[in-house]
Amino acid sequence: MDPLYLAMSLYRRRKYDDCVKICSQLLEKNPYDQASWSLKTRALTAQVYVDEVDVDEEGIAEMIMDDNAIAQVARPGTSLKKPGTGQGGPSAGIRPMSQSGRPLSGFVRPGTQSGRPGTMEQAIRTPRTAHTARPVTSASGRFVRLGTASMLSTPDGPFINLARLNFSKYAARPNLAKALFEYIFHHENDVRNALQLAALATEACQFKDWWWKVQLGKCYYRLGMYREAEQQFKSALKQQEMVDIYLYLSKVYVRLDQPLTAIEICKQGLEKFPGETTMLTCIARIYEGLMDMINAVKYYKDVLKCDNTHIEAIACIANHHFYSDQPEIALRFYRRLLQMGVYNSELFNNIGLCCFYSQQYDMTLSCFERALSLANDDNSTADVWYNIGHVALGIGDTNLGYQCFRLAISSNNDHAEAYNNLGALELRKGRIEQARAFFQSAQSLSPHMFEPHFNYASLCDQIGDLQSSYNSAQRAVSAYNDHCDSKDLLKQLKKHFALL
C-alpha cells in the first residue's frame, strides 16, 4: 500500500500519532514532499485542536487589566459584570453565586465556576477550573512553545521553524497556507506569527476569502483587540453567512460587556439558521449570566425541542427547577441524564439532594454514597460531604452535620460554605471564639458571600460589640445587593439589630 495513502487513511480514522510517524518517514526520504508535509501539519494540529467558538476562559490579565468597559455604572440588566440587577426570579436570593455575582450554572463550562475578582490577590487565589488547582491563565492550559516551521524537516530539530519562514511565499499558496496557519495558531499557539500570515494571505486573495477574515478576527480576539476582531467578523459575515461567524461575533460582544448586543447577533443568526442549537444555547447562557432565569430556561427548552439529548440544557433546566423549590421536577430531568449514560459524582449528588427535598429519604443516602465513590477530586468530595451535612441538619442530627462539614474542610481547606456552617453550629453551642474564627475564615475565603458577614454581625451583636456588628451588617448588605435586591436581608437585619 502506498505510504501516503495509508497516512491519509489513518488521519481520517483519527489515528494521528501513526499518521505523523509515516509522514515523518516520507519527509526523511524527501524533505520537500509538500503532500506529506501538509498532512503531517494537519495531523499535529488535530492532536491539540480546540474549538475556539465554545472554549473561552478569562485569564488573570483579562480580569484585572480590562480596559474595554464603556460605562462604569451600567443600566440594570445590561452588564455581565453586575448581573444582580437582572430578573433572577424567586430563586435569586438562595442560588449559589460565583465571586463575580453570577449564579453557578447547572453545567460546568468556561467562566461559570470562576468569577471576576476585584483584586490581584483574589485573582491569584480563587479562579480555578474543575480540572486544575492552579489559577487559570490566558493560555487556557496550552503550552506556548518557542519557534518550531520550515519545509526542511530534521530528526533532531523542530518540525517547523517559524523564524525561518517566508510568510509571503506561503500566503500566495492557499493549499499550504491554511494548513500552516492552523498549525501555528493551534499547535504552536503563536498568535502574532499566525496574524502575520493571515494578514498576508488576506491581501494575496484580494480580501475576497471570508475564511481568512475569520482567522484574522480570531487572532485579534486572542490578542485582546476586540474592536478589530469585530470589524473582521462583520466583513466575513457580509461575504459568507456561517453559524461560527455569528458565534464568534457574539463572543466579542460578551467580552466587551455588551450582552444584549450579543443576544441580538445570535437572534439574527437564528433567522438565517432556524433551530440552530449552538446559537440557542449561546443566548440561554447569556441570559443565565444576566440572572434572567425566565428567558434562560425558555431558550434551554427551545434547545431541547431541536435536540432532546442536549446535556447542558437538561442540566440547567433541572438546576433552575431545584432552586425554584420544585425538586420533583428537577429529579425527572436528572433521571433523564442518568438514562442517557451520564454517570458521575455530580449527577448522583444532585439526585440525592432532589430526593431529600422531595422526601424520598430511602434513596438519599444511597445516592450520596454513590457520589462519594465516584468523586475523582478533592473539590467534588468536599461538596458531597457538605451536602450530606445539610441532610444531617435537616433530619436534626447536628453531630453528624458537624462531622460532615469537618470532612468537607479536610478534603478542601478553602470550602468557605463549610466554614460558615461550622461557625453557625459553634455559635449555637455557645462557643464564641471558635465561631468567630470560622466566620472570619469564611469571610476571607469568599468575601462575595453575604452569609458569613451576616452571621458574624449576629455574633458581635450577642457579645455587645455594636461597631463590629454594624460594619459586618453593612458588608452583608453590600454583598447581598451585588446578587439581588437587598430588601429581604434588610428586614432580617432590622429584626436582629436595633441599631439599624
Q: What is the pLDDT of residues 127-148, one digit of tens each?
A: 333 333 333 333 333 333 333 3
Task: Tell me, yes or no, whether 178 lies in a domain.
Answer: no
Tell me the mean pLDDT in the region 428-453.
Answer: 89
Tell me the mean pLDDT in the region 39-51.
Answer: 92
- Higher-confidence residue of 461 and 26: namely 26
pLDDT reported for residue 130: 33
Q: Could you tell me where the DSSP H helices lie in 205-342? A: 210-222, 226-239, 243-255, 259-272, 277-289, 293-306, 311-323, 327-339
Instruction: Report yes or no: 447 and 471 within 8 Å, Cβ to Cβ.
Output: no
Tell me the mean pLDDT in the region 221-244.
Answer: 94
Task: Tell me, yes or no, whether 456 lies in a domain.
Answer: yes
CATH number of the domain that residue 402 is part of: 1.25.40.10
Final residue belonging to a domain, choices 49, 64, 84 = 49
The three cell numbers of residue 417 are: 460554605
- Higher-confidence residue of 446 and 78: namely 446
User: Does residue 410 register a pLDDT over 70?
Assistant: yes
Count of domains forming the chain: 2
Phi and psi based region of residue 207 (left: phi greater than 0; alpha: psi -120 to 50; beta: remaining): left
Tell me the mean pLDDT in the region 359-363.
Answer: 89
pLDDT band at 117 (very low <50, low <70, confident <90, very high): very low
pLDDT band at 268 (very low <50, low <70, confident <90, very high): very high
pLDDT reported for residue 199: 95
The single-letter code of the amino acid at 213 is K
Give me the chain's average pLDDT, please: 81
For the chain, give the percent of residues with pLDDT over 70: 76
User: Does residue 434 register a pLDDT over 90?
Assistant: yes
pLDDT band at 53 (very low <50, low <70, confident <90, very high): confident
Instruction: Report yes or no: 129 and 113 within 8 Å, Cβ to Cβ.
Output: yes
Task: Tell me, yes or no, whether 438 lies in a domain.
Answer: yes
pLDDT reported for residue 500: 42
Quote the pTM value. Answer: 0.80
The three cell numbers of residue 405 are: 462539614
User: Does residue 481 register a pLDDT over 70?
Assistant: no
pLDDT reported for residue 355: 95
Task: Tell me, yes or no, whether 8 lies in a domain.
Answer: yes
pLDDT reported for residue 56: 61
pLDDT reported for residue 494: 57
pLDDT reported for residue 465: 75
Average the pLDDT over each of 79-93, 145-159, 424-438 and give the range with the smallest value.
145-159
pLDDT reported for residue 95: 65
Host domain of residue 428: 339-496
Task: Tell me, yes or no, whether 396 lies in a domain.
Answer: yes
The three cell numbers of residue 423 are: 461557625
Task: Tell me, yes or no, whether 368 lies in a domain.
Answer: yes
